[in-house]
Chain A
Amino acid sequence: MATKRRLKTEHAQFKKTPPEGVTLLTDDPTSTRWIVQIAGAPNTVYAGETFQLQLSFSDKYPFSPPEVIFLDNPPQHPHVYKNGHICLSILYQEWSPALTASSVCVSILSMLSSVSKKEWPIDNDSYMARWRISRHGPQKTLWDFHDDTV
């Protein structure tokens, strides 16, 4: 009940006042799987490009984080794997119920804006090899957040 009420409020708020460069494409306020489009910020290496995020909410939301992945062609970024998984602490250990879907998207956009060149994560190949076997979701990875600067 708490999950549904919260999502409905967030959906309305997100539609009404979307953060700059972030658009909620899902119209159904009762959906538990949202598609969000984010636009690379001007004067960054992703300027002019758009990406799609999928946010999936469990019935434990907001006490558990939404599962967030990039769809299709994820941005080439040191914290984004080729399968769309994102290594960002607030999506896992540092999630807080005071955060929102909208604030998560803003954090991801700011993560993109903070790099000066496009690179895949250094362990992309081994991560992808493991993922091809397991097909695990990103929340089933024990992430190691070693780099706070990017």
Chain B
Amino acid sequence: MSEGKDEVNRDQEIMAQMDAIKKEVAESAPLMSDVMDTSTLLAEYGDPLFTTKIKSMLDAFPKMRKTRGDGNCFYRAYAYGIAEHFAAHKDKLPGFLETLKQTFDMALAAGYPEFTAEDFYETVQEQFARLKDEPMEALHATFNDDGLSNYIVAYFRLVTAAHMKTHVDDFLPFLEGGETVAAFCARAVDPFGVDCEHLQIIALTQALGVAVNIAYLDRSAGETAAQHVIPDGQEPLVFLLYRPGHYDILYPPPAVAHT
């Protein structure tokens, strides 16, 4: 009996701890911050490996915008970056809205229930369509509204999984231990708050046709932050900063960001 009690206490302690961390993260940072100087990152690191890499990218990316670290950061940051791009290039917005519509058809083809997919799709379509005649500030509020912002994340996750499920041959060779694409999506794409890794990024950027440039601020050797464009060879429209387990947005000069 006493052993059972200990186990209960341990489970509940771990769960309480996880809840406390989530709450602390939620209270300490907005979903999407305002623009700030990338050099503010220097204060977060004492290790010269990191400070050298940060200094090396200040010219290329003088400004940045932070994303809340809740496991959805890649999806949210990428969606935000896309919105900013089309806010600045309104002539290209109709093309993107058309692509979004195609992703909805793809989600249905991948077997997602129509009315949940539609619920998310309509929210995303409606919010991005506002950029036709509204400024990015309007969408900044959207991205910081829990409900709307999470609908966008949920839809981008759905598109990621739908793309993988409708392009099984492209992704299956990269899965480990005989895992199926469906099992991978159920474990690593669909659940809200599960970190996004390389495969998911490939799938999502292919599906939406918007390439992303990622600068990697990690422990790898070298004095500069390595950069990769996904999908390879395309012109990136969104720039992100990767730190182990987390993504923020970077801005090349002149900052296309609003403040």
Where the two chains meet, the residues of A that have a C-beta atom closer than 8 Å to any C-beta of B are 1-2, 6, 9-10, 13, 62-64, 89-90, 93-100, 103, 126, 129-131, 133-134, 136, 140-142
Q: Report which of A2, A93, A130 forms a contact with B151, defined as CB distance below 8 A.
A: A2
Q: Which residues of B contact A1 (CB under 8 A)?
A: 147
- Asked if B28 is at the interface (CB within 8 A of a chain A CB), the reply is no
From A93, A98, A136, B8 is in contact (CB under 8 Å) with A136
Task: Evaluate contact between A126 and B4: CB separation under 8 angstroms.
Answer: yes
A133 near B113 (CB under 8 angstroms)? no
Residue of B nearest to A9 (CB): B115
Residues of B within 8 A of A (CB): 1, 4-5, 7-8, 11-12, 14-15, 112-113, 115-117, 119-120, 147, 150-151, 154, 157-158, 186-187, 190-192
- Checking B112, B117, B150 against A63 with a beta-carbon cut-off of 8 angstroms, the contacting residue is B150
How distant is the Cα of A9 from the Cα of B1 in the complex, in angstroms?
A: 45
Q: Cβ of A140 and Cβ of B116 under 8 Å apart? A: no
Give the CA-CA distance A9 to B123 in the complex, in Å.
Answer: 15
Q: What number of A-B contacts does a CB cutoff of 8 Å give?
A: 74
Q: Hey, which chain A residues are within 8 Å of B186, CB to CB?
A: 89-90, 94, 96
Task: Known A129-B4, A133-B8; judge A95-B191 contact (CB<8 A).
Answer: yes
Q: Which residue of chain B lies nearest to A125 when distances are taken between CB atoms in the complex?
A: B4
Contact partners of A90 in chain B: CB under 8 A: 186
- List of A residues within 8 angstroms of B112 by Cβ: 98
Q: Which of B11, B117, B191 contacts A140 (CB 8 A)?
A: B11
Complex contact B11–A100 (CB within 8 A): no
Contact partners of A9 in chain B: CB under 8 A: 115, 119
Q: Which residues of A contact B154 (CB under 8 A)?
A: 62-63, 97-98
Contact status of A98 and B115, CB under 8 A, knowing A63-B192, A126-B4, A141-B11? no
If over half of B's interface residues share one DSSP class (helix, strand or loop), that class is named, otherwise mixed; here it is: helix
Q: How far is the CA of A6 from the CA of B120 in the complex (A)?
A: 10
CB A9 to nearest CB in B, in angstroms, measures 6
Pairwise interchain contact A100-B4, C-beta atoms closer than 8 A: no
Closest to A103 in B: B113
Give CA–CA (A142, B113) in the complex, Å. Answer: 28
Contact A142 B4 (CB under 8 A): no
Bound CA span A96–B72, Å: 13
Q: Which residues of B contact A98 (CB under 8 A)?
A: 112-113, 116-117, 120, 154, 157-158, 190
* Chain A residues in 8 Å Cβ range of B192: 63-64, 95-97
> From residue B4, how far is it (CB to closest CB) to chain A in Å?
4
- Chain B min CB distance to A100 (Å): 6
Interface centre among A2, A6, A93 (most CB of B within 10 A): A2
| B1 and A129 contact, CB distance less than 8 A | yes
User: Lowest 9 A-B CB distances belong to which pairs?
Assistant: A96-B190, A2-B147, A130-B4, A134-B8, A97-B154, A129-B4, A130-B8, A142-B11, A98-B116
With a cutoff of 8 Å between Cβ atoms, the chain B residues found around residue A99 in the complex are: 113, 116, 190
Shortest distance from the beta carbon of A26 to any chain B beta carbon, whole Å? 19
Interchain CA distance A66-B162 in the complex, whole Å:
23
Do B12 and A130 touch (CB < 8 A)? no
In the assembled complex, the CB of B163 is this many whole angstroms from the nearest CB of chain A, namely 14
Q: Cβ of B191 and Cβ of A93 under 8 Å apart?
A: yes
Known: A10-B115, A130-B7. 19 other contacts (CB 8 A): A1-B147, A6-B119, A62-B154, A63-B150, A64-B192, A89-B186, A93-B191, A94-B190, A95-B191, A98-B116, A98-B157, A98-B190, A103-B113, A126-B4, A130-B4, A134-B12, A136-B12, A140-B12, A140-B15
